[in-house]
């Protein structure tokens, strides 16, 4: 009999890197960064610790940041939504995907946004801020606003922050209320805060009218 094939086939550099990243992301999604070791990543990927170091010489910190970058990209895809049909249902569908992402990365999401983690640096903060900025830009572009004034920008950013806060509490509370209810509640809040701002700002008032008309 010929000898058994090696336990893993030879992967290309890119394949190997992406396999390690996937393993890391899976671990960082469901544990705090403190609870993930390089040995865990090596074991999950079925490779040796030195191999992980060959691809990520910066060790856990570098792996964490690479995994975070990859998660941030995935999260930004949640915001992709065709520009057709009424506006609030579009927001609702994007929120649905966002909350599914939160659900699937629960512990990692909490650890990251609660702050104070050893892996937090100005780079990880910049990645998170990039996602927030992308979310705001998506919303404003669906609203077809190219030159948002201060009131509108503040309203959108405040709502995005409130969504983050809601996600963290939702995770804290054992994912209650049910995700569909949370989603609808957050969409209603969006409409409500936009109405409040409309009382102080003509640009927002025009949008609030549009929103009321297109439902």
One residue of 51, 134, 166, 179 binding its own copies per CB under 8 A: 166
Q: Is 120 in the site for its own copies (CB under 8 A)?
A: yes
144 CB-contact burial (10 Å; exposed 0-12 / middle 13-18 / buried 19+): exposed
Binding mask 25-64 for its own copies (x = CB under 8 A): ----------------------------------------
Q: Which of 4, 126, 213, 215 binds its own copies (CB under 8 A)?
A: 126
**Element (DSSP H or E) covering residue 128:** helix 122-142
Closest to 35 (Cα-Cα) out of 46, 24, 22, 20 = 24
Angle, helices 87-104/179-198, rounded to nearest 10 degrees: 130
Nearest to 120 by CA among 105, 136, 108: 108
Q: Residue 75 and residue 101: Cα distance in Å, rounded?
A: 7
Q: Which of 56, 124, 135, 208 binds its own copies (CB under 8 A)?
A: 124
Verify binding: residue 133, its own copies, rule CB under 8 A: no
Nearest approach in angstroms of CB 207 to its own copies is 16
Say whether residue 123 binds its own copies (CB under 8 A): yes
Task: Output the smallest distance, CB 39 to its own copies, in A.
Answer: 23
């Amino acid at each position: 009999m010929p000898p058994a094939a090696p336990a893993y086939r030879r992967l290309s550099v890119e394949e190997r890197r992406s396999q390690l990243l996937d393993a890391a992301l899976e671990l960082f999604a469901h544990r705090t960064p403190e609870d993930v070791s390089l040995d865990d990543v090596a074991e999950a990927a079925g490779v040796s610790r030195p191999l992980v170091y060959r691809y990520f010489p910066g060790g856990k910190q570098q792996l964490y940041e690479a995994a975070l970058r990859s998660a941030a990209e995935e999260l930004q895809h949640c915001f992709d939504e065709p520009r057709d049909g009424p506006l609030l249902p579009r927001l609702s569908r994007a929120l649905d995907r966002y909350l599914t992402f939160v659900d699937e990365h629960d512990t990692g999401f909490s650890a990251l946004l609660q702050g104070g983690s050893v892996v937090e640096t100005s780079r990880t903060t910049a990645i998170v801020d990039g996602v927030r900025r992308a979310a705001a830009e998506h919303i404003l572009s669906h609203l077809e606003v190219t030159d948002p004034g201060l009131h509108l920008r503040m309203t959108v950013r405040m709502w995005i922050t409130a969504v983050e806060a809601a996600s963290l509490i939702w995770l804290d509370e054992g994912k209650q209320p049910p995700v569909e209810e949370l989603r609808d509640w957050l969409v209603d809040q969006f409409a409500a805060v936009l109405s409040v701002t409309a009382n102080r700002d003509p640009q927002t008032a025009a949008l609030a009218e549009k929103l009321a008309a297109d439902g």
